[in-house]
Chains A and B, each alone.
Chain A
Amino acid sequence: MVRRPSLRARIAQWVFLTALVVVAVFLASNAADNLSRRHIAFGFGYLANTANFDIPFRLIDFGPDDTYARALLVCVLNTLLVSAMGIVAATLIGLLIGLMRLSSNWLIRNMGLVYVELVRNTPILVQIIFWYVAVLHNLPGPRQSLHLPAGVLLNVRGFYLPVPVMGQNGPSLIVLALALLVAAPVVARLTIGGSRLVKLALAMPLLAILLFCAGIEHIDTPSLTGFNVTGGVQLPPELAALWAGLSIYSGAFIAEIVRSSVQAVSEGQREAARSIGLKPRLVLLLVVLPQALRMMVPPLTSQYLNLIKSSSLGAAVAYPEIFQIFAGTVLNKSGREIETFAIVMAIFLSINLAVSAAMNAYNRRVMLVTAR
């Protein structure tokens, strides 16, 4: 028979690939059969149909007259929003708790331990519903809102912040302010006649803030009108509960990654840093953390990916993300299971591949040169 191992391996690979294709074709034709038996044609044309439902929380305009495609965009943005907020918060929590776990203080060290064990060993869905039902539902109703400083309102319907409303010149002034901010570091390096323009560069951000303030027509403060608080910008309790659940849960795992990575930095590095007279805080900041960071990045990436996928649990607490709106309402109204789930999977896949690619690029930058 085939003697050469390389050829044998190649044949085995081709056989396996062919088998895979056969299975895929079988599954596809099976699905096609079922669809045609139910008189359903496969296609994505339904995305152009009118949605005729409302999405309670959204970053861009959406009304019942808009299409399913727009509804998809709205809920993708909602998923991205809570994922981004969750990743930032989980990283900060993880860093804090991870360093607490390494503290020489008994109380701080064990507080960190209790946090990690408590959070890591209960299901995330239970935690999200706990924050929503057991914590946020205890806030007062809209008519008994808590009035916090600076016009901030807090009640069971959410957290309401005042928001500046820009006048007619607003957009152009914002562009100008942004341009000044971007230009400031560049100007700081310029020299005219031998003297550097540092003073001018320092004045530019101030000028930008002034320009922004000049563009504000009025401040929209939240206030009670009718049933609900209107005006300002609202952080709904659904978002808050999901955000809290995701970041507190992932934070515990990240804390363990931080702790183990810091402990993995060899003792010699610490001793060397101490022996050149660095204070303990600087030993951590300048020597240990930068080296630990290299080890953290790959496991951290998988935590971030998990967090993004877990954002679909928001469906349980009425947060309008992809799974709830698109694989829920839209699926039910259109009855397009295969297409809808293909889209949902493709979106999660692309978000996660993008995050993964960014983290890998970062990893290559911070990786030890000798490790290549």
Chain B
Amino acid sequence: MRLKFGSRLTLGGAVIAAVLGFGAQAYAQSTVKSPTLDAVKKRGQLSCGIDTGIPGYAYQDSSGKWQGLDVAFCRAIAAAVLGDPEKVKFTGLTSKVRFTVLASGEIDVLIRDSELTFARNTQLGLAEPAVNFYTGQTFMVRKSLGVSHVKELNGATICVETGTTLETNIADYNRANNIKIGTLLFERPEEAFAAVEAGRCDGYTDDGGSVAAARSTMKNPNDWVFLPETIGREPLGPYVRQGDEAWFNIIKWTHFAMLEGEVLGLTRDNIDAAKVNPTNPDLRKFLGAEGDLGKFLGLDNDWSYRVIKMVGNYGEVYEATFGSKGLGFPRGMNNLWTNGGLMMPYPWY
């Protein structure tokens, strides 16, 4: 078929218009459409699944207020989305039920020192927006046993929390090294800690942060040592349901905002001063003086300011929970990449 020049022009114009129109529509949808975000805003409260209670990640302080690295992440999301870090409903979940509760829609996000794995991503239909704690599976044993390497635990019994990747890691380690480390599986950490203390097990294993937490609950923490070697690798982070990419993005970039705060040297105390008249272009964009960071997430432009102002940057939170003001657990892999760690927020543009 041959078309006259005029009609070709018309056709071309129509195609361009259609492409533009479609693009504009797609653009509009991608910025705002998130059922979870809408539900959270409507409810006026973020529903966050956390640990039932473990020092470092999620624990209640003497006044009964939830504290911890995971808890702070929940509060940061609430600050970004709702403008108030206290508008969070915390639901303590055992390791066994956590993914079922998330999949059923009872909570908006699960931040419960959960290891991010291929199987959970693909088989459970869950998405893994970020890593908020890098660690490895660590063993804690009684000093008096004189053990210095995981391999020397052949024949020993180790207490473990059930429903975790830890059991599998030990089974794999046993097979790879042709030894036999026995496990005793507990539903909740409280009974597991009691069994370790009583000598029912020779030691306790979990990710590094949790083992530090376990040691802090022992009658005499100095009787217990960490074995220097870890098995497996445990990147811990939040989980959301698949199928809501906009919500996924909010979780992911809230984490990066906390890291960016540390990169830019913004803290709860100095951010107000820094916001007055920022000159550094990175700072201007991050604090919403320039550009549209918030709009692309379906939030307002002050979201990142609120995260730092109301909750603090990642380094501040780590210091208060795992660092010198908390469990005294070395920052190690969780340092910024500039300090030899693995924490590197993606660039914003």
Contact = CB atoms under 8 A, between A and B. Distances in A.
A332 interface: yes
A132 B191 contact: yes
Interface stretch (B162-170, B247-255, B335-343): B162-170
Nearest to A237: B200
A227 interface: yes
Interface stretch (A97-105, A243-251, A311-319): A311-319
Interface string B194-219: 11011110100000000000000000
A316 B125 contact: no
B96 A328 contact: yes
B103 interface: yes
Interface in B171-198: 171-172, 174-175, 182-188, 191-192, 194-195, 197-198
Contact of B125 (A38, A54, A328): A38
A171 interface: no
B278 interface: no
A263 interface: no
A39 interface: yes
Between B103, B157, B174, B185, the greatest number of chain A beta carbons within 10 A of the residue's beta carbon is seen for B185
Contacts of B159: 318
A100 B120 CA distance: 56
Given A227-B156, A328-B185, A129 B172 contact: no
Given A37-B243, A38-B103, A318-B195, A332 B187 contact: no
A335 B168 contact: no
Which size class do A's interface residues fall under? 35 or more
A52 B96 contact: no
Nearest to B199: A141
B171 A64 contact: yes
Interface string B78-94: 00000000000000000
Interface string B55-91: 0000000000000000000000000000000000000
A137 B198 contact: yes
Between A157, A318, A320, the greatest number of chain B beta carbons within 10 A of the residue's beta carbon is seen for A318
Interface in B108-138: 119-120, 123-125
B100 interface: yes
B191 A317 contact: yes
Nearest to A140: B199
Nearest to B185: A318
Interface string A315-340: 11110100011001101111101000
B187 A333 contact: no
18 contacts: A52-B171, A53-B167, A53-B171, A56-B182, A64-B172, A133-B195, A157-B199, A226-B155, A230-B155, A316-B187, A318-B184, A318-B191, A318-B195, A324-B185, A328-B185, A332-B99, A332-B162, A333-B168
B95 interface: yes
A139 to B, nearest CB: 8
A328 B185 CA distance: 10
Contact of B164 (A138, A141, A332): A332
B167 A54 contact: yes
A40 B125 contact: yes
Given A37-B243, A64-B175, A137-B195, A324 B167 contact: no
B310 to A, nearest CB: 34
Contacts of A329: 162-163, 167, 185
B34 interface: no
A225 interface: yes
A316 B162 contact: no
Nearest to B172: A52
B170 A54 contact: yes
A64 B167 CA distance: 10
A335 B124 CA distance: 6
B145 interface: yes
A13 interface: no
A113 interface: no
Contact of A133 (B99, B124, B167, B194): B194
Given A137-B194, A137-B200, A332-B163, 8 more contacts: A39-B125, A157-B199, A227-B153, A318-B186, A324-B162, A324-B185, A329-B185, A335-B99
A90 B162 CA distance: 29
A265 B160 CA distance: 53
B166 to A, nearest CB: 9
A256 interface: no
Contacts of B125: 38-40
B232 to A, nearest CB: 13
Contacts of A73: none
